[in-house]
A and B are shown apart, each in its own frame.
Chain A
Amino acid sequence: MDGIPILELEKVDTYYGSIQALYDINIQIYKGELVCLLGGNASGKSTILKTILGVCRPKKGAVKLEGERIDGKPTKYVISKGVAIVPENRRIFPRLTVLENLEMGAYLRIDADQVKKDIEGMLELFPQLEKRIHQPGITLSGGEQQMLAMARALLSNPKILLMDEPSMGLSPALVDQQFELIQKVNQQGTTVFVVEQNANMALSIADRGYVLQTGFIVLADTAQNLLNNEMMQKAYLGGST
């Protein structure tokens, strides 16, 4: 990979009070990549995202967006600099319409005309959303909510898209759909960082992966290698020593 990474965590230690949650985390994500962070329960996955988004401040180390430090900055700043997230369980605004949800995605943008065009573009990409454009978010089916959450996040023209456990709470069929969607979005040029529990799914679309276990990165490799790695199973199921 060439150039500076779009997103980098460098020697990051994060604590909750006096309890350490992340140990010496080093992650790099380059432009156009689809990178996944795998881990079971109690691995530290959500802490990583909170550290990136500025919800948690690392005690040591740095978080850099295209070389610029964003660790410790408020969430609003991080978002404004080009990070977008599809939160766990998607979290679309239930009583805002599809259109209003999309508008919220573009909240920080000031180029109103371009926003309009981009929304139209999104609707072309997701015709099901166009059909329901004025319906409240909560009336959408699971799959449609996935699309809406994705489109909403993309409308901020992010430099990197974070996905927090996209498979959580979805039926197996929807999980397939979800990962297809992520792959499609990445193929169109968006850099994506997926934090996931479902290793098989994530690795099937990713370029590279990191495996997190109780706050440590225990494996880092290409997706292909990880899929064939025997240690994966052991590390992944949380069995320690």
Chain B
Amino acid sequence: MAPTLAKTELNKTNKVILYVVIGIVLAVVPHLMPNSYWLRIYTMTGLFVMLALGLNVVAGFAGLLDLAYVAFFGIGGYIFALLSSNQFNIHLPFLLVLPLSAFLTMGFGFALGSTSLRLKGDYLAIVTLAFAQIFKLLLLNLDRPVNITGGVNGIFNLDPVNIFGLKIVSPVLYSYLIWFFAIIVVTASFRIKKSRYGRGWEAIREDELAAEAMGVNTTWMKLMAFAGGAFIAGGTGVLFASFQDSVFPNNFDFPQLVVVYCMVILGGMGNIVGVVVGAILLSILPEFLREYGAYRMMSYGLILIVLMALRPQGILGEIGLFTRGKPRPDRDETGVLKASTDLYYGEREQIGQLRTPQYSMTDRPLLELKNVTMNFGGLKAVDDLSFTLHEREILSIIGPNGAGKTTAFNLISGIYPPSSGKIFFKGADIAGSKPHQVVEAGIARTFQNQRLFNNMSVLDNAKVSQFPRTKSGPISILFNFPRHKKEEKETEKIAKDMLNLFGARLTGYRFDQKAMFLSYANRRRLEIARALSTNAKLLMLDEPSAGMNPQETIEITNFIKKLRDIYGYTIIVIEHKLNVVKTISDRVIVLDYGSKIAEGGYEEVANNKQVIEAYLGRKRN
């Protein structure tokens, strides 16, 4: 029995009650602290909660290992110190500096993020680490010849906070201020996670290429992840600087980075509640073990090692990294799979019954390939390929292994540009476009070796594809504007409609099931549903029936026909099972060694000597 995600959807009344309760708790707790030391810990915990949630955006949601994160914290802090102190005798009010600092830091986030575009994983981590080092060096050395940063002594005696006449000076007031913002950040985190941004980031973390192929503008989203994290860190920096009434270089150094990372990882990357719990735990626990304080950093190191080896998804992690020991159906090799014994569901024509077949192939060209060639360093994977696809046509591409079929798909969907040739879609040349742009134009595809977002639910997998069709930005999302609510409703509706086409297999309780726990055949179906959710006009299906048993194959075959007959899609299919090809195709193209060797109706092509030879192999001389 595959575990389901625990989804706690609060309705409006519950939400209000929750906030009231939290408000009361936050109002009371500071007064329950036994002494000022513990009050300080309480306040620092609030700061860490915010810091951890900011890191959660860039590392948890988007999966980008930003080791410069603590530098953004520092930038925020130092900006406040420079703009609200005697350092340069600038005394901007707190309410101005806080957002100013956050936005300025966000700018740095964008800048650093732009370096991430070309770098993956390890390299990104090291480059960001290098930037963090440079930042620290600058902090330490920019006190000569002009004293900007105060060097190793930092800057102190910062301006007191004044909010509309209320002077925030006492520790209790600070704790209110900081936890107030902490709650805002928590709320914002939940909102952004449930939005197209959250889904887009998670998709990128799962499989960047597939995310791009489902219409997510990965470049923009990665920048936004860095920027978002930096924004929060920058704002938190201001609060911290004000609270400490000073900033020093070693407030923003490697040990702090490590602590924040441990908080996020311990709680479960991407899991907001987990991260908050992790932040609270790691803020408070060390205080109880203060006699072992010297071993604190060592413990953090050990925590990281052990967590990664034994429980990388963290203590609460439902959204997490790979768990050891769980079955990994997505790691199966392609082409040799047999579908598991899936109950044969009768054809449940919930929507289809109400509609009759009305579409067939037209003679209007939709997609045209003109002399497309793809050269991989001397090897011509696709050789001068030309063909025209008409609206509402079902075209099958067949050929032996290595004939260039998937390469053709990759060229059309923008994974890489062709070495030469043109690809016209609806009259415009899309050759060389980025995958998400191709999706926006109206082409969607599935992958031969299944690139589902394994840790995301079935429903979320389908929702991701609506990314290019929706426009809500961070502001709409964070403030829950009507536009955002409307788009979310629509997204959900479309996703559910597409999943519904497959009947009970992908609906109901399955909506919340993680994709990795689906049976093999259902995973293939989800791939198609996900592609359908892009509102595409042209569908490219790469071996949709691979590994399915005869019954499932018949079902999917009929389904593909239905997609065109009832819903009017134009479809290109790569297939190996010729009975499938026979049933669905208006036309068949045969590729061998990258070239088209035959084109026509199924019967014509199947009896073509050259084709038969290509499949069975050339005879020996």
Contact = CB atoms under 8 A, between A and B. Distances in A.
Interface of A: 16-21, 40-47, 167-169, 171-172, 175-176, 179, 196-202, 204-205, 214-215, 232-233, 236-241
Contacts of A238: 576-578
Interface in B571-621: 576-579, 593, 612-613, 615-621
Contact of B401 (A44, A168, A172): A168
The B contact surface, by secondary structure, is loop
A42 B547 contact: yes
Contacts of A201: 617-620
Given A43-B336, A197-B400, A239-B578, A18 B329 contact: yes
Contact of B577 (A45, A198, A205, A240): A240
B611 to A, nearest CB: 9
A88 to B, nearest CB: 10
B540 to A, nearest CB: 18
Interface in B523-581: 543, 546-547, 550, 553, 576-579
Given A42-B576, A46-B333, A236 B616 contact: yes
Enumerate the 5 nearest inter-chain pairs by beta-carbon distance, A residue then B residue, closest first. Answer: A198-B617, A42-B335, A239-B578, A200-B617, A204-B620
8 contacts: A17-B331, A41-B335, A43-B335, A47-B333, A197-B401, A201-B620, A239-B579, A240-B550
Nearest to B448: A41
A215 B338 contact: yes
Nearest to A173: B621
B339 interface: yes
A99 B490 CA distance: 65
Contact of A200 (B401, B402, B619): B619
B325 interface: no
B616 A233 contact: yes
B327 interface: yes
Given A42-B576, A240-B550, A240-B577, A16 B617 contact: no
A17 B576 contact: no
Given A18-B340, A241-B579, A176 B613 contact: no
A45 B401 CA distance: 13
Contacts of B550: 240-241
Given A17-B329, A42-B547, A199 B617 contact: yes
Contacts of A17: 327-329, 331-332
Contacts of A239: 577-579
Contacts of B327: 17-18
Given A239-B578, A240-B579, A200 B336 contact: no
Nearest to B327: A17
A168 B338 contact: no
A156 B190 CA distance: 61
A236 B612 CA distance: 10
Contacts of B579: 239-241
